Amino acid sequence: AQKITQTQPGMFVQEKEAVTLDCTYDTSDQSYGLFWYKQPSSGEMIFLIYQGSYDEQNATEGRYSLNFQKARKSANLVISASQLGDSAMYFCAMRAGMNTGFQKLVFGTGTRLLVSP
Amino acid sequence: EAGVTQFPSHSVIEKGQTVTLRCDPISGHDNLYWYRRVMGKEIKFLLHFVKESKQDESGMPNNRFLAERTGGTYSTLKVQPAELEDSGVYFCASSPGRLGTLSSSYEQYFGPGTRLTVT
């Protein structure tokens, strides 16, 4: 069974600073994908970044990067130059079995990030 | 292009009543998923449709929950009769990914969710 663990219920960061949100995962599958979603107070889930298990390079999308350490089974999200609009709930998720019927996402409990001026 | 839409945005019902949630996926997306987040807990998978067929319904909590996707377009999730523990936010997501393709991310596009409160 797959499991995602986010150990930080809340994080605080000052505007313009970088912040790392932790995510560890557990799976016996060789092929899987890791996702980060952002959920602002309005409620919608916004896709941020994706990392495939066979990708050799860490994924980057603008100010978001994913620090993927396969041996440690961690997929931490790094947000550089935090902005006030980054204040939100952040969810790490995993999808196992890239070419099978198992397309469901398994989520962690989330980390609430608060960016202060 | 319109995103995933869900209706209603918020529903308050009494225990024992019936509620039907609706999800309209992105046009052309064969895959449709339902998830639920109970207060303070992780978002949990409920079920997955491929077109009108249920691909995986392993996350459905019990037989009080019934999901349909007639014609492979919109989907409904009915809770009958509702219980207090059914309260939470119900998310719908869709994706275009097809098995065996080289789609790299299989990103699922989420709707804004329906907040269900059972009193």
- More confident site: B14 or A44: B14
Q: Which of residues 85-104 of A touch B (CB under 8 A)?
A: 91, 93, 95, 98-104
pLDDT of residue B112: 92
Look up tokens 């409620």; give the residue.
A43
Residues B23, B114: contact at Cβ < 8 Å? Answer: no
Residues of B in contact with A100 (CB under 8 A): 99
> Under a CB-based contact definition with an 8 Å cutoff, are residues A87 and A14 in contact?
no
Asked if B113 and A107 come within 8 Å (Cβ–Cβ), the reply is no
* pLDDT tens, residue by residue, B68-91: 998 889 999 999 999 999 999 999
**Residue A32: how many CB atoms within 10 A of its CB?**
20
Token pair listed for A103: 């397309």
Res B102: pLDDT: 45
B96 vs B89, more confident: B89
What does the pLDDT average to over B6-26?
97
Percent of chain B with pLDDT over 90: 75
Q: Which amino acid is at B42?
A: E
**A104 → closest Cβ in B48, B97, B105:** B48
* Spatial CB neighbours of A46, under 8 Å, sequence gap ≥ 6: A37, A38, A39, A40, B110
Query: Given pLDDT bands bounded at 50, 70 and 90, which one contains residue B107?
Result: confident
Residue A113: predicted pLDDT: 98
Confidence tier at A99 by pLDDT (50, 70, 90): low
> Is A115's pLDDT higher than 90?
yes
What is the DSSP-derived secondary structure letter of residue B73? S
Q: Where are the beta strands (DSSP E) in chain A?
A: 3-5, 10-14, 19-21, 24-26, 32-39, 46-52, 60-61, 64-69, 74-79, 88-96, 105-107, 111-116
- Give the residue carrying structure tokens 């409990």: A109
Alpha helices in A5-103 (DSSP H): none
Closest chain A residue to B115, measured at CA: A43
**Averaged pLDDT for residues B44-69:** 93
Name the residue of chain B whose CA is nearest to A108's CA.
Answer: B42
Residue B1: which pLDDT band, with cuts at 50, 70 and 90?
low
Residues of B in Cβ contact (< 8 Å) with A110: 42
Which pLDDT band holds residue B97 (cuts at 50, 70, 90)?
low
Q: In the predicted model, what is the mean pLDDT of residues B42-60?
A: 92
Element spanning B88, H or E: strand B88-95
The Cα of B5 is separated from the nearest Cα of chain A by a number of Å equal to 10
Residue B101's pLDDT band, with cuts at 50, 70 and 90, is very low
What tokens appear for A88 in the block?
């939100």
- Read off the pLDDT band of B13 (50, 70, 90): very high
- Whether B115 has its CB under 8 Å from any CB of chain A: the answer is yes
